[in-house]
Each structure stands twice: as structure tokens, then as C-alpha cells.
Amino acid sequence: MADYAPVAGCMIIEPWGMAVWERIRDTFDAMITADGVKNMYFPLFIPESYLEKEADLLEGFLPELAWIEEPDTEDVQEKIAVRPTSESVIAPYMADKIRSYRDLPFRINQWANVVRWEVTDTTPFMRTREFLWQEGHTAERDNEEAQEEAMRRLEQYRELIENTLAISVMKGRKPEHDKFPGAEITTTVESLMPDGRSIQNGTSHNLGTNFSKAYGITYMDENEEERYAYTTSWGITTRLIGGLIMAHGDDQGLVLPPTVAPKQVVIVPIWRDDTEESVLGYANEVADELEDAGFRVELDDREHRGPGYKFNEWELKGVPIRIEIGPNEVEDGVLTGVHRDTGETEQFERDEVVDHVQQDLDAMQDRLLEQQKQFQDENVREAESADEAKEIITEHGGYVTMPWCGNEGCEAEIKDDVAADIVMVPLKPPVVESPCSICGADGEEIAYFARNY
Amino acid sequence: MADYAPVAGCMIIEPWGMAVWERIRDTFDAMITADGVKNMYFPLFIPESYLEKEADLLEGFLPELAWIEEPDTEDVQEKIAVRPTSESVIAPYMADKIRSYRDLPFRINQWANVVRWEVTDTTPFMRTREFLWQEGHTAERDNEEAQEEAMRRLEQYRELIENTLAISVMKGRKPEHDKFPGAEITTTVESLMPDGRSIQNGTSHNLGTNFSKAYGITYMDENEEERYAYTTSWGITTRLIGGLIMAHGDDQGLVLPPTVAPKQVVIVPIWRDDTEESVLGYANEVADELEDAGFRVELDDREHRGPGYKFNEWELKGVPIRIEIGPNEVEDGVLTGVHRDTGETEQFERDEVVDHVQQDLDAMQDRLLEQQKQFQDENVREAESADEAKEIITEHGGYVTMPWCGNEGCEAEIKDDVAADIVMVPLKPPVVESPCSICGADGEEIAYFARNY
């Protein structure tokens, strides 16, 4: 899926991984453009003075910025950073384009590369200095509409990740001290990986008027009064592929959900000289029929590789269904199918191949989601004290929920010992009747502690 | 289509321009992936030592490189450039992956942003410091296959640009002194713009073994002998949109060929209070019917804008067909159509709308290509002396062809006086019987002089 790049911490996305990313992109792009979001492209380079306008944003990203060396050009007189995110060029663009309430909501998006330099422990897809992402930016009339917008995108992320990647998610808010720089509310979709750690799959931010005030995004309302717009931003990245690999993979390699698999079916014909014509002819017909029905099919008729080699290779790549065709299958008018996730083998009638493959793919898509969802549901545990929380994290991993006072210091109590953070609190601020399980002060939130990526 | 960005020489691609680029991308992507080209993504950052390996490449791009300021990270110990093109990271990747003749041809592509800093006279789409492009990279067994590959992509560029953008092209080679750094042969597709200047729409390079030798791309042939692969690279950029704007635009704004227009039909209903229901109902039905038939349709039912304002706005944006619907159209069961390119107005039966619009769009697509092709064909003129060439360039613009000795000094004779370069020579080296029209030495090539972008 990916390879290491010459510059440390960067990655080369290989064809199989890129095909997955393009499928994620096209699926989500269709969802947001149907909602009237327009794609644009903003520059890679951001002048320092633009970054400085929103103090939290600059402070939050400063340690991670890559700067361009003295551009030495007459027409550029200040420092230039490589974008870590694009609020600071998109907000001024909005300020320029938005005039009246009729221009709202104003909804744009870009698919782009971004750079966050000061990253340690880089791993392809999970944490890289450059990654690909989608960043949506919108402006609304008031806080209520901005919050609705942020929630709409969070829900679309859930839909994308569950339906396409077959990964169940929990929606939540990030605690105050872990919000996106400049955000009023940062929401997240979190998923549990098989190793018991949580992964943040995407975030959606209600930025309130913080960016509007910093960059002057105002509009005339129906009464000709000038008001600040409320803005949002929301993003998913190539990290989704990292989660996908972990969520479903096994000892034989990847297991790709049919919806996102670059190839859904691989046909491996097995022949000798005397059966070559009949087996390959039969295999080609099956491949054509499946392709005509809209499936993504690979016919692996390489001559210099044996069936065992091919089986391994396509298992490693996670293709959902393998169809084996030898002389027996041809003679009996049947096909032998193997399911990548369960290893289960079955024979079915050649004539029913389209319906059969469709049913198998649908069942596998459901099965993968269901398994991961069940695992996730089983691994949310309540704790009544810091010690119990640490014990659960150490023994089981997963999520531990506890009443929490909202103080970052109490998080540190757990974090320093067992490396678990508060990855989220419930989307809607809960009514907390118990005191903070760590310090005993009034409980403000229900904290979800987990080790995370 | 585009706006200026905060950093000089960069651009913001606005929704209308982005939609055009996405259409170009999807069209070309389908063409190459059908040929087995695989998409990948390579890093934005390239270490200096990788750039240095191919001397011509480094020399050619050195003045244009943007460098990252002292990354100040333990794991990065050398200078890092922002990619101007990716041969220097893709060639080592190929060297790593290609083992045997069975791995060839090896064909990959990426859609990405690139940066070329030392650019003057920047103009959105035409010449910007950052632009979007597609760069294809392939490895073949021998020079013949590499040359075929380079020609295959050049032909696909012709097909894309003529069929999608309705811009006729001439295929040619760049003269020796204007080849891509490190290329054996650089081929180009050139088009004449209405102002008499030529635009380079895309280039396809046969890189011979220059990159294979610099980066060690070798393979074992059938006889277990190690051989250098032959490589190619080929690219088109967002500059295509610049050519599109110029090729067909007029005093009222853009004229977009139907194939690439984000909206092909705009419906403008014209109503008063007493006719609102009937006009809007009729307009909505027409819009739905056209959308169901697969056309890209905008129904402009904004209440706070009058028809005149709307007409202007959609003309400016270049939408191919405007359909006007007022009470008379509703009463007579007809529609009034206006063609963007000719301004021609016509009435046709409401019931025939799908067939009628299809015919109009097809006719417009053909007409736009035909007009530009005719203009281009009429503006290729032979000259017999440098003076005649200068006179033609000054008076008519367009292309001037002359026998040429191949010496860059003779090009300068024309260039210094009338700012026309040799934009191409014929694809196949011609048999030239006349001497160089400039210096009188033996003629080697037929030079196509033109002012260019």
C-alpha cells in the first residue's frame, strides 16, 4: 500500500493504496457535492502574516511548520510556510467573497497535501510529515447553523467510515485542552483498533467567530446590519487507510471490505498444457460476466507463477473473494470461491456467479463491520477510580469511561502511568452527578480514556 | 475561474475552474488507467542528493527550486527541495521495484502539485509558481518501446485536448536546446491562440537511459542478462485551462465547450407574481427532464436578481446553452434557447428538449473545434528568409516555417527581434533539401517559429 520515501517521515503511496484513497475520495466527494459544497484549490504556500492573524492557530501549528528558505524574490518580502491546514488563506478568501446573507451558507472544500513537520514516530498512513486530506470550510449566519454544519459533516464521516470502510465509529467531542487551535468545539469520530488503541478518524470543528473576527468575515443581514459569520472546518486524511489496514487485517495480510477494495474478485485459473484452452476460456468468460455486472475483477493468468504464489499474493492484498478454476470446475460447470476474511471455501453453480458474488460481497461487508462494532462495544468499560482505570487499560485496552472534572491535570494522572489520553467526551455535554473519579471535585464530563494513535 | 493568492505568483482555483480541472483529470485518468497505468502519490519533498544524480535535471531546475529552511530535525541531514517534477524520486522507486523483463512496461502516474519558483510574469493558469498537473512515468525494455510509449501519450493528449477542450493541436518535437532536462526527445502538442501566439499544451519525453543510468533502473532480460530500462515521462497541467479560456472566450466572457463545461445548460425562468407558479413549475420540469437525461443543468430561480443580470452572469461563465422560459413559452409549449458561442436564438418544442439540447451541444462542440482548427491551419506560413519570417510574425502572428540548421544562434536572430521562438520541429525528422534560411548552412530541420506563452 505504501513505501518509505527518501525524506524521513514522508511516504510513497503505492497503486493499491492509492486506489483505496481514490475510492474514499470519490465516495465522500459525491456526498458533499450533493450538499452544495464546491471544490476549490488553495495554494501550498502561506505567508507568515496570514498565519499570525489567528493567534491560537499560529501557536498550535508553529512547532510543526516547514518554512521556505529565503525565497529571494523581489515580489515576496516575508516568510512563507508550507500549509499545515488552510484556514489562514481560506478565511481571507471568504472575507473577500462573502457580502450578504444571501451568500450564506458558503461551503467549499479542497483535496490537497499538507505538511506537519515536527512529527515523531512516523509510520506510513498513520503519522507522516506530508499527508493527503480533504479540508472543508464553511461560513454560516449564526452559531446554531455552524453547529448544525459541523454535525452534518461528522455524520457524513460516520456514514463514510462505517459503510465504506466497515469500521464502526463513536462520535464525541475533544476535551477543551485538545481542541483544534482556534476552534470553539472540536468533534471527532473514534474507532477501536484490534490492539485496544483508539484511532481518530476525522474531525469536524465549529470555529465560532474566532476566524471571522481575525480575518474579517462579515455579512449584511436582512436588516442591512453587518454581522460576523460563524465558520466551520472538517477533515479526513490518508490516515483512514492506516485504520483500514489495522481494523480488518490478519496474519495473511490485508482484508479489504468489498466497497473499498480496488479489486473485489480475483480469478485464479489452474491449468496444465492439455487443459489450458478450456480452463482459460472458462475463466475469461466468468471474468467478463462479472465485469459486465459491474464488479472489479482481476483475472490472474500469469504463466510464470503457480497457484500457491498467486493465492498468497492476493490474500496479502486483501481481495475479498478468490475464485479458483481448474479442470474439475470446468467439467462440472461450477466455481470454487474462497472468502478472504473467513477462509471459508464453497462451490457454486457457474450460472449463478453474478448473484452469488453479490451476496458474498454484501455478506462480507456486513460481517466486517459487525465484528469490529461488536469488539468496540465490548470494550467500553466504566471505572470508578484512577486505579481501576489504569488496571482496565493495562489489562484490556479499549475505552474506560469515568466522571471527570474537566481538568487537564487529572488526565495526566492516568496518562503518565499508562499512556492513555482522554480521546473524547460525549457529543452532548452530559449531566454528571458523580464527582471526578480522579480528584473528587465536581464532575463536568464523562471522559473516555484510551491509548491512541 | 481563479483568483490571486497571498503569495505572489500562486493562484486560488475557484469552483468553476476546479470543476473544469476535475473534468479534465477524470477524462484523462480514464484514458490512461484503461491502458494499465497505475496512480500513485510521491512526496512533495526531494532531498538534494536525489536531485543531484541526474546532472541535466538539477541544472535545468536549479534556478526554479524552492528549498525548505533548515529542517532542524535529527533524521534529516541534508537540503530538501519542493518538487518541481518527480523523476528524481520516481526513478529510484522504479530501480527498487523493477527486477525482470516481466515487470516491464512499468507505468505509473500521479496527480499532484508542483512548484517552480523562479517564474516571472505570472498569470493565473498560464504561468504560476505552484500548479496542478499529472506526471506519468514509465519504464520499457528498449528505446523503440519507450518511443512508442511517449508517442502513445502524446496522441492521448491530442485526443483529450481536441475532443474535450475543442482545441486543435499540432504535434511536434522541441528543438535540441529546448528539451526537458535529461530527455533524449521532448515532444509537444502546440495550439494557436486567437492573439497569434502558440501555447504548449503538454509534453511527452523519451528519456532514453539517462535516468536509468543515473538511478540504476535495470532489469534481467529473458537471457538473464542485466540491462538498463528506457524511461519516459509526460505531463499536462492546469495551464490547459488557460488555453481553454483564451481559445474560445469572447468579449462577453468565457465560452466553454459542452464536454468540459461544469454546467451545460442554464435555465432562466422569467416571471411575475401572477405567472410565478406556472413558469417555475414548467422550468422545474424541464430541468428535471434534462438532468435525468444526463445533462449538467443549472436552474437559476434566484428571486433577488433580474433576468438581465442572470444572462450576463452565465454568459461570463461560458455556459453553452441558455434556456429562457417566460409565460409565452409556457402557453405555447415551447422553449427559447440561446447559444453561447454564436448568440443565436431559437425556439423549439418543449417535448423535444432532450434531443434538441443534445444536438445543439454536439453541434457547438464541433463548431468550436472546427473554428479554432481552421484559424490554426490558416496561420502556418512558410518564409524564405529571416526578414520575411519577422514580417509575418509581426503582421500576422501564428507559425512561420523555415528550413533551419539546428543552431540555437539562428533562432536568436528571430527571437531577439520579434520575440518568436522555435516552438517545435516536425515529429519525424524531415528530409530538408534547402539550406537554413537564416545562416545558409545545411538545413537539418523545419523550424516552426511563433511567439508563445
Percentage with pLDDT > 90 across chain A: 91
- Provide CB contacts within 8 A for A116, sequence distance 6+: A61, A64, A84, A129
Contact A38 B45 (CB under 8 A): no
Residue spans of the domains in chain A: they are: 2-248, 265-363, 381-450
Q: Which residue of B has its CA nearest to A12?
A: B42
pLDDT at A77: 80
- Answer yes or no: is pLDDT of B196 > 70: yes
Interface test with B, best of A45, A299, A313 (most B CBs within 10 A): A45
pLDDT at B74: 76
Q: What is the DSSP string of B223-273?
A: TS-EEE-EEEEEEEETHHHHHHHHHH-BTTB----TTT-S-SEEEEE---G
Interface test with B, best of A3, A12, A77, A132 (most B CBs within 10 A): A12
Cβ contacts of A73 on chain B, cutoff 8 Å: 8, 117-118
Contact B41 A12 (CB under 8 A): yes
pLDDT at A72: 64
- Answer yes or no: is pLDDT of B272 > 80: yes
Q: How far apart are the first and last CA of chain B?
A: 19
CB atoms within 10 A of CB B308: 9
| Nearest CB neighbour to A13, from listed B13, B40, B70 | B40
| Nearest CB neighbour to B12, from listed A18, A19, A43 | A43
Domain A265-363 homologous superfamily, CATH: Anticodon-binding domain (3.40.50.800)
**Measured between CA atoms, how close is B278 to chain A, in angstroms?**
25
- Answer yes or no: is pLDDT of B77 > 90: no
Span B341-349, mean pLDDT?
97
pLDDT at B55: 86
Percentage with pLDDT > 90 across chain B: 91
Span B75-101, mean pLDDT?
94
Query: Is residue A449 exposed (0-12), middle (13-18) or buried (19+ Cβ within 10 Å)?
Result: buried
- Answer yes or no: is pLDDT of A5 > 80: yes
ipTM of the complex: 0.95
- Mean pLDDT of all residues belonging to chain B: 96
Separation of alpha carbons B229 and B220, rounded Å: 10
Contact A130 B8 (CB under 8 A): no
Span A196-211, mean pLDDT?
97
| Nearest CB neighbour to A38, from listed B15, B82, B132 | B15
| Nearest CB neighbour to B18, from listed A41, A73, A130 | A41
| Nearest CB neighbour to A40, from listed B12, B39, B118 | B12
| Nearest CB neighbour to A12, from listed B5, B40, B75 | B40
| Nearest CB neighbour to A68, from listed B69, B76, B113 | B69
Q: What is the pLDDT of residues A262-282, one digit of tens each?
A: 999 999 999 999 999 999 999
The residues with which A269 forms a beta bridge, in sequence order, are A325
Contact A15 B7 (CB under 8 A): no
Q: What is the pLDDT of residues B198-221, one digit of tens each?
A: 999 999 999 999 999 999 999 999
Contact B68 A73 (CB under 8 A): no
- Answer yes or no: is pLDDT of B72 > 70: no
Cα-based torsion angle of the residue sequence B61, B66, B70, B71 in order, rounded to the nearest 10 degrees? -100
Considering the segment(s) B2-248 as one domain, its CATH architecture is 2-Layer Sandwich (3.30)
pLDDT at B117: 87
- Mean pLDDT of all residues belonging to chain A: 96
Interface test with A, best of B40, B87, B111, B131 (most A CBs within 10 A): B40
Cβ contacts of B45 on chain A, cutoff 8 Å: 5, 7, 10, 129-130
Separation of alpha carbons B239 and A420, rounded Å: 50
**Measured between CA atoms, how close is A175 to chain B, in angstroms?**
30
Contact B50 A6 (CB under 8 A): yes
Interface test with B, best of A11, A40, A86 (most B CBs within 10 A): A40
Q: What is the pLDDT of residues A36-79, one digit of tens each?
A: 999 999 999 999 999 999 888 888 898 889 999 877 677 888 89
Cβ contacts of B93 on chain A, cutoff 8 Å: 3, 12
- The owner of cell 490554426 is B376
| Alpha helical stretches, state H, B62-207 | 87-97, 143-163
Q: What is the pLDDT of residues A387-404, one digit of tens each?
A: 999 999 999 999 999 999
Q: What is the pLDDT of residues A301-317, one digit of tens each?
A: 999 999 999 999 999 99
Buried b (16+ CB within 10 A) or exposed e, B414-427: beeebebbbbbbbe
Contact B93 A3 (CB under 8 A): yes
Q: Considering all CA atoms of chain A, what is the largest pairwise distance in Å, rounded to the nearest integer? A: 85
| Nearest CB neighbour to A43, from listed B10, B15, B67 | B10
- Provide CB contacts within 8 A for A422, sequence distance 6+: A175, A178, A404, A411, A447, A448, A449
Q: What is the pLDDT of residues A92-104, one digit of tens each?
A: 999 999 999 999 9
Pairing of strands A80-82, A218-220: unpaired
Cβ contacts of A53 on chain B, cutoff 8 Å: none
Domain B381-450 homologous superfamily, CATH: C-terminal domain of ProRS (3.30.110.30)
Contact B93 A47 (CB under 8 A): no
- Answer yes or no: is pLDDT of A408 > 90: yes
Contact B15 A132 (CB under 8 A): no
E-strand spans in B103-184?
Answer: 106-115, 130-140, 170-173
Contact A71 B117 (CB under 8 A): yes
Q: How many CA atoms lie within 13 A of B276 on its CB side?
A: 6
Cβ contacts of A6 on chain B, cutoff 8 Å: 43, 46-47, 50, 89, 92
Separation of alpha carbons B235 and B43, rounded Å: 17
Q: What is the DSSP string of A293-315?
A: TT--EEE---SSS-HHHHHHHHH
Cβ contacts of B67 on chain A, cutoff 8 Å: 68-69
Pairing of strands B345-349, A345-349: unpaired
